[in-house]
Amino acid sequence: MLILISPDLCRHIILTQDEEALGLLESWSARGDEIMLSAITYAELVAGALNTANKEKHMNLVKAFCERLDAIVPWDEKAVDQYTEIQMQALAKGTFTNMNNAMLVAHAISLDAMLLCMNKLTFAEIEGVKLFELKESY
């Protein structure tokens, strides 16, 4: 199975070096799952690192985290089409959808990937995504 990691979980792991979360990801990888980042998540991590007082330190943390993953998946036409569908559905319902969340969910749906996150409510307004919520208590 392809697993995309959400920005909130990435930040949690990068900042805390949470051994249980890392161990879970490693066990999934060992069983053959592909643990990846969407280009959307990578962009958020880089922007966050560059918005700190110690840009070099935080960029090194982001790079070290990404080196442990299988890949950073590029944003492609299929993801764009899925994103457009999500936004059109939101407009038809008269609701607002956070653009980055919609883009990440669209990417996960377009890849038939599971989205691993810290809080399912972040993505609750968007239908059709396979979510797995990683709790700090595991």
> Is 45 part of any domain?
yes
Give me the pLDDT at residue 135, please: 76
Give me the pLDDT at residue 92, please: 93
> Is 138 part of any domain?
no
> 66 with 73: CB under 8 angstroms?
no
Q: Where are the alpha helices (DSSP H) in the chain?
A: 7-16, 19-30, 39-50, 55-67, 77-93, 99-111
User: CA–CA separation, 132 vs 3, rounded Å?
Assistant: 9
Give the strand pairing for 71-73 and 34-38.
parallel
The stretches in the chain having pLDDT less than 70 are 136-138
Q: Which residues contact 93 (CB under 8 A, 6 or more apart)?
A: none
Closest by Cα among 115, 92, 120, 94 to 103 = 115
What pTM was estimated for this model as a whole? 0.92
The tens digit of pLDDT for each residue in 92-117 reads 999 888 999 999 999 999 999 999 99
- Domain count along the chain: 1
- Measured in degrees and rounded to the nearest 5, phi and psi for residue 135 equal -90, 150
Strand pairing partners for 71? Answer: 36
CATH number of the domain encompassing residue 96: 3.40.50.1010
The tens digit of pLDDT for each residue in 41-53 reads 999 999 999 999 9
Roughly how many angstroms between the first and final C-alpha of the chain, as a whole number? 20
Domain with 129, as residue range(s), is 2-133
